[in-house]
Amino acid sequence: MEYIHTVQYYETDRMGITHHSNYIRWMEEARVAFLSKIGWDYAKLEEIGIISPVLNVTCDYKLSTTFSDEVFINVSVKEFKGVKLHLAYEMKNRDGKIVCLATSSHAFLDREGKPIRMKQDQPELFETLSGLVGEN
């Protein structure tokens, strides 16, 4: 699934380059859009009592971006076995050059913060995410 983000002026530093911390924000934007597109938006997850905290984030910056650049972010499910969701992000510029490769890992917890047995407790969500592993 592709998400497009346009770099905003406030996301750049004094040198006119996008500050590195913004790429993580864009990952969240892309992840929220990805979940919505597959029918499991955050509002729906929260409504059924699921929270999904971030466990880990990695970013490998390849090229700089600047104000008004469009960044095309492809989100894919790298791994999912029911306990943790591992996503991969490939961010490219308009020329198709990779600007950042990133990953994020997430848990699925109930409102009390206890892990959810996804296969048993949320079989539809489990099947949806399992079916997306390895797809781009």
**41-96 per-position pLDDT tens digit:** 999 999 999 999 999 999 999 999 999 999 999 999 999 988 899 999 999 999 99
DSSP 20: T
Number of domain units in the chain: 1
- Output the CA torsion sign for 75, 96, 65, 70: negative
- 136 lies in some domain: no
Rounded to two decimals, the pTM is 0.93
DSSP one-letter code for 8 = P
Domain for residue 69, yes or no? yes
Provide the pLDDT for residue 136: 64
Which distant-in-sequence residues (6+ apart) come within 8 Å of 96 by Cβ? none
Q: Say what the pLDDT of residue 83 is.
A: 84
Whether 13 is in a domain gets the answer yes
Query: Is there a domain that residue 110 lies in?
Result: yes
Segments forming the whole domain that contains residue 14: 2-131
